[in-house]
Amino acid sequence: MNDVVLTGDRPTGPLHLGHYFGSLANRVRLQDLHPMYVLIADYQVITDRDLPGEIRRYTTELLLDYLAVGLDPAKVTIFQHSAIPELNQLLLPFLSLVSVAELRRNPTVKDEIAHSSQSAVNGLMFTYPVHQAADILFCKGTLVPVGKDQLPHLEVARLVARRFNERYGEVFPLPEAMMGAQPLLRGLDGGKMSKSRGNAIALSATEDETAALIRKARTDAERLITFDEERRPEVANLLTLAGLCLGRGPAELAGEIGDGGAVTLKRVVTEAVNEFLRPIRKRRAELAGGDVRRILAEGNERARERAVRTLEEVQAAMGF
């Protein structure tokens, strides 16, 4: 079968190294293998917050991050929800295929509700996984590179595709999740790496900001640096990060640093990260001076043509 890849991100802040090693590097590889769509999921931003915030700026920043790491608009269609009315319209028939009980059971939605800063949970919080099914199915996506937290949403997309096909005839292929093989990077404080927790190194951070973040990273009191994920997770995480940037094994790096202690470890990590990100940051700065919104407009146009065709097919299958 000819796979179509679709994945995306909410435009809520800059992408960081966790995104890079967890998914962006894989996308850059995939763009040479399959037709690929990358979604800037702007409507999804207002699921767990009341206002979209600086959505336009975040959209541009996300686009710059994508292009800087090497996503090539000649190969990948980069687009946004808000520019594709026909994608959004798929939500209506799709919602009719899913029960309220199924919407309520989604563990990722439950988790987001638990961590939400909103005064009240809104309806989009329960229904956005069905909208996400539309994200995947509008282009008949078959391969969806995602993290573990997105698996329940992928199940919703499969359920929607299966039920649509059963009720109205074969229209959609069943999408599959594609899980990354990379080790999970933690944040510099040892917790989950997250743009909102201040423990992540943004791709767009300056070298000085990067150095300052790593200087504050949590380590431990043992002088001899060893790679021990169980007993010394923070040190192991820094070694993993440097190893990924240098293309080397973390245990080998630990051996070289030896009794250089946390100071040497942090110097090695800082140099590795800054060196690794230098060409990406340089490209990002160059792109920022140009007309990147045009690239998005072209992606939106391509995605929209695809969505128009799928919506027509859906309406015809349903007998409208």
Identify the residue whose tokens are 């995947």: 136
Number of residues that bind ligand TRP (CB under 6 A): 14
Q: Does 269 bind ligand TRP (CB under 6 A)?
A: no
Which of 54/252 has CB closer to ligand TRP?
A: 54
190: phi > 0 → left, psi -120 to 50 → alpha, else beta; which? left
Binds ligand TRP by CB under 6 A, chosen from 5, 41, 76, 139: 41
Q: Does 243 bind ligand TRP (CB under 6 A)?
A: no
129 and 152 Cβ atoms separated by less than 8 Å: yes
45 and 15 Cβ atoms separated by less than 8 Å: no
Q: Does 44 bind ligand TRP (CB under 6 A)?
A: yes
Q: From residue 252, how far is each of 21, 35, 43, 123, 274 by CA, in Å?
A: 20, 38, 45, 50, 20
Which of 58/276 has CB closer to ligand TRP?
A: 58
Cα separation, 170 vs 230, whole angstroms: 49
Q: What angle (nearest 5°) sits at the alpha carbon of residue 145, between those of residues 139 and 149?
A: 115
Closest distance to ligand TRP from the beta carbon of 9 (Å): 5
For residues 131 to 170, the per-residue mask of contacts with ligand TRP, x marking binding by CB under 6 A and - elsewhere, is -x--xx-------x-x---x--------------------
Binds ligand TRP by CB under 6 A, chosen from 3, 10, 25, 121: 10
Q: Which stretch binds ligand TRP (CB under 6 A): 1-9, 211-219, 222-230, 262-270?
A: 1-9
Binds ligand TRP by CB under 6 A, chosen from 4, 5, 8, 94: 8
Kindly report the number of other CB atoms within 10 A of residue 18's CB atom.
Answer: 23
Q: What is the largest CA-CA distance in the chain?
A: 73
Q: Does 175 bind ligand TRP (CB under 6 A)?
A: no
Alpha carbon distance, N-terminus to C-terminus of the chain: 30
Residue numbers at the binding site for ligand TRP (CB under 6 A):
6-10, 39, 41, 44, 132, 135-136, 144, 146, 150
